[in-house]
Amino acid sequence: MLKEWESVVVLYRRMSIPRVIDSSCNRLSEALRVMEDLARFILDDRELAAALKEMRHACRSWDARFPSGWLIAHRDAGNDVGTATSTTSEQSRSGPLDIAVAAGNRAAEALRSIEECVKTIDADLAAECEATRYRLYDLDARLRRRLSPRQRRQWAVCLLLTESACRRDWLTTASEAVRGGVDCIQLREKDLPDRVLLDRTRRLMDMAHQHGCSVIVNDRVDVALAAEADGVHLGQDDMALADARRCVGNDLLIGISTHGADEADAAVLAGADYCGVGPMFLGNTRPELEPAGPGRLIEFLERHPGTPHLAIGGVTPEGARVLGAAGCRGIAACESICGSEDPAGIVEMLRESMQANVEAGGSPA
């Protein structure tokens, strides 16, 4: 008799559990939909939007784990004491990032409520909720990085600035390149003393930022942070992107050099803000790498259409035209710009050649 009474007590105590699960499932689905829409319509990030959609549908399928109609039967929105309770911060959003943060927090909190409640009913589902919550943390972090104030840009022409490759003074070369239309400069100096590199970065920024041109530091996360540059560019043998992100947070853009589909997939998945894709043609910057040609760029664009890119490796005005026809939206060049007596003129030719992809059948830059 006592056992029967204990069963009734347990059942009675569980009567409010369905309301918590039903409400939390609805909040979870709504929050995931907001995150999905941000990834889809604001970021144009097909992979992130698909991952969030898949999670939303998987969570919706949890209804089938309960008796048919069980959750809805316990729904009582009219008597929900929490509907009239709100805070000032819930009534306004400062922009897409603020929306994403609110949605991500709401989704994680809803998942935790579901997880704790279903522990009284279905241990396997509770474990699935926990695993989903950890996946959500990763997707939430990716969405926040993409929407961070240091917005990702699709540059048209990036100057890979190396003093040893310059025919003229390095700062004159950079200034002329900016005058010609360069919208990003990557400072690529591997042998300069730290103080000299930091001073050069700051001088470059003073000049470039007046014209809306970004400045990226190659390899050196510490120098990029100290100079408050726009970003840092990492090679495959440099600091891992995840470690770099822990150092810089969302204060700096992080770019990665990639040399094939596997490296590109890994970079995008890890949260790279842009990818160098190459090498396209034979050049002196990385002569040990075999040129892959525009096919590698086409492959990248098919797999990661929303990720900014820079086609790298021996890019000349002639090569820029070929790349433009393949759909290229951004190129990076060193020798053709640095080695010219007329950097501004070469940059103009590079831009015009790539823009010619409109007539050649490619997508506009």
Where residue 309 sits, what CATH number does that domain have? 3.20.20.70
Q: Of 146, 181, 196, which one is at a domain's C-terminal end?
A: 146
My answer on whether 257 and 348 are in the same domain is: yes
My answer on whether 200 and 69 are in the same domain is: no
My answer on whether 82 and 167 are in the same domain is: no
Identify the band that residue 85 occupies on the pLDDT scale cut at 50, 70 and 90: low
Residues 6 or more apart in contact with residue 334 via CB below 8 angstroms:
159, 160, 161, 162, 165, 188, 283, 285
**pLDDT over 70 for what percent of the chain?**
89
Contacts 24+ apart (CB under 8 A), 162-170: 162/188, 162/189, 162/285, 162/334, 162/338, 163/189, 165/284, 165/334, 165/335, 165/338, 165/339, 166/338, 166/339, 167/338, 167/339, 167/340, 167/341, 168/341, 168/343, 170/200
Average pLDDT on 3-32 reads 74
Place of tokens 């008597």: 79
My answer on whether 46 and 98 are in the same domain is: yes
My answer on whether 130 and 40 are in the same domain is: yes
Q: Which domain holds residue 226?
A: 157-360
pTM above the 0.85 mark? no
For residue range 145-176, list pLDDT tens digits in order. 778 766 788 999 999 999 999 999 999 999 99
My answer on whether 271 and 324 are in the same domain is: yes
> Of the candidates 241, 322, 229, which has an alpha carbon nearest to the alpha carbon of residue 276?
241
Number of domains the chain contains: 2
CATH of the domain at 94: 1.20.1260
My answer on whether 169 and 69 are in the same domain is: no
My answer on whether 196 and 278 are in the same domain is: yes
My answer on whether 184 and 251 are in the same domain is: yes
The DSSP element (H or E) to which 184 belongs, if any, is strand 184-187
- pLDDT higher than threshold 80 for residue 259: yes
pLDDT score at 358: 43
Q: Of 146, 175, 200, which one is at a domain's C-terminal end?
A: 146
